[in-house]
Amino acid sequence: MNNNLKVKIVQRKANGQEWYEGSVAIPGLKGNVKLARKSDGNTKFSTRSAVNGAAKSLVNTLHAFNTVDFGQDANMTKPAKKATTKKPSTLSTLNTSSY
């Protein structure tokens, strides 16, 4: 039995501000439930990591799930750029031997 809490993270932008929201599907509750900060109940998080922390805290509080499943979001990091090594430019030397 899959006992993971599935989390969906979305990035929002409006009026020059950017934030993240997370929602979870909990069996027995209708629809998805938004994650909120424990301190003030706000559903807007400044970073993805903050959403991850809230989801992990929920798992610890509920004791009904083993782990958090971020689905594809966990692999959404950009691949590292391939390092390019420039070859030093070589100047061609002229044969300046006198005739």
Q: What is the pTM of this model?
A: 0.64
The reported pLDDT for the residue numbered 83 is 55
pLDDT in tens, 34-84: 999 888 989 999 999 999 999 999 888 888 888 888 775 444 444 445 555
Taking only the tens place, the pLDDT of each residue in 7-36 is 999 999 999 999 999 999 888 888 889 999
Given 3-state DSSP classes, what are the helix, strand and coil percentages for the chain, each rounded to the nearest 5? Answer: 20, 25, 55
Look at residue 39 in the predicted model and tell me its pLDDT. Answer: 85
Query: Quick one: pLDDT at residue 87?
Result: 54
Per-domain boundaries in the chain: 4-71
